[in-house]
Amino acid sequence: MSWRYQVDDVFARFSEGRWDDFLDELDKIRVSVADPAERQQLKATARRDAREAGSQPLLVRMAIADHYLNLLAIGVWAGDESWRADLRDLVISLVPGDDESHDDALVSSVIAVVLAQLLQDARLRGGSEADVMARSAWEKAQEWAAYAEDRYVERLLHASTEAGARVVTETEVQEVVELATAAADDQHAETIAALETEGFTAEIMNGVWVVEGDFRNAVRAAARAITLTGYGCVLARNIRQSAVMLWHENTLAMADSKVPRWRVYPILAPVTPQSKFSGGEGLPFTRDTHPLAPAPEVVRRLADAVGVNLSHLLAALR
């Protein structure tokens, strides 16, 4: 019996809704090595399975996802990042439909492992292609990841010493579960996690993201932070300097304690606050400058739009 026939046979049996022996059946079709000459065919077949997964019963979709992770673990996609799109679509397909029977903990565990794979070398608030794919998968499936259980996760992990292998660790899955759990309880948990990854300590106070750290340049720190948080207000400060940014739609206003004037800039895609303030040591040029107080109309409008108290903001800046 060929290995592919075994795979198809297991998928067929999963169509019958056999939840009790799901993990045991997966073990039967896992492989530890792939002939390099067969890798292109393996990838093509895995892509086909992933593309057709949405029309399959839930257990089959779960098995397809695990099979895809197995092929990643044995290096089939070495040097090729195209797996991310397939895995994104697969994890989204794992969210059970309203009329599908399921084992919450088992489904959640598979979802958590796949999300952990997608988040390798990717960030939820980044702008790379890998970041965007991870984010779209996270938004659709993260609430399920919170209910993963260790007893299932342990059996879903893949181990490999093959060159080009992609595997996730138990720690990486646990980080996904913890973030999903925190996000369920706190709408700002993902943003805080993204800021902490950048080395900031962060909290939100009266609508203002306050970030602190050992950064040398508070303006650049504010620009990086507000790029991560999106439209709103950020106050970045350390023992030497503080800087504030207000951003809404296509307009950004900033001021810092060293140059106490409002400076207003257009922010038009693909420009971001981070890219705007990333060059050189000085501030980007603008003719649109104003005294801190009284605040100009454009700054007052921005403060109203993002819901912050301008007088409190100026007091914090000083």
pLDDT digits (tens, 9 = 90+) for 275-299: 999 876 679 999 999 999 899 999 9
Count of other CB atoms within 10 angstroms of residue 156: 21
Bridge partners for 261 per DSSP: 291
> Chain centroid to CA 191: how far?
10
What's the CA gap between 132 and 41, in Å, rounded?
Answer: 28
- Report if pTM > 0.95: no
Q: Sheet of 261-266: strands edge to edge?
A: 201-205, 208-212, 232-237, 242-248, 251-256, 261-266, 289-291
- Locus of tokens 């393996």: 42
User: What pLDDT, on the 0 to 100 scale, is given for residue 99?
Assistant: 82
pLDDT in tens, the chain (318 residues): 455 666 777 777 776 666 778 898 888 889 888 888 999 999 999 999 999 998 998 999 999 999 999 999 999 999 899 999 999 999 999 999 888 878 899 999 999 999 999 999 998 887 789 999 999 999 999 999 999 999 999 999 999 888 889 999 999 999 999 999 988 888 888 888 889 989 999 999 999 999 999 999 999 999 999 999 988 999 999 999 999 999 999 999 999 998 889 999 999 988 999 999 987 667 999 999 999 989 999 999 999 999 999 999 988 886
What is the residue extent of each domain of the chain?
3-185, 193-317
CA-closest candidate to residue 251, choices 264, 260, 269, 270: 264
What's the CA gap between 213 and 88, in Å, rounded?
Answer: 34
Instruction: Please say whether the beta carbons of 309 and 303 come within 8 A.
Output: yes
170-185 vs 189-197: helix crossing angle, rounded to 10: 130
189-197 vs 218-229: helix crossing angle, rounded to 10: 140
- Please count the helices (runs of H) and the strands (runs of E) in the chain: 14, 7
Give the tens place of pLDDT for each residue, 22-67.
898 888 889 888 888 999 999 999 999 999 998 998 999 999 999 9
User: What pLDDT, on the 0 to 100 scale, is given for residue 1?
Assistant: 44
Cis check: omega of the bond before 270, within 30 degrees of 0: yes
User: What pLDDT, on the 0 to 100 scale, is given for residue 28?
Assistant: 84
User: What pLDDT, on the 0 to 100 scale, is given for residue 5?
Assistant: 61
> Chain centroid to CA 142: how far?
10
Tell the burial category of 98 from Cβ atoms under 10 Å away from its Cβ (0-12, 13-18, 19+). exposed
- Locus of tokens 């198809």: 8
Q: What DSSP string describes 7-23?
A: HHHHHHHHTTT--TTHH
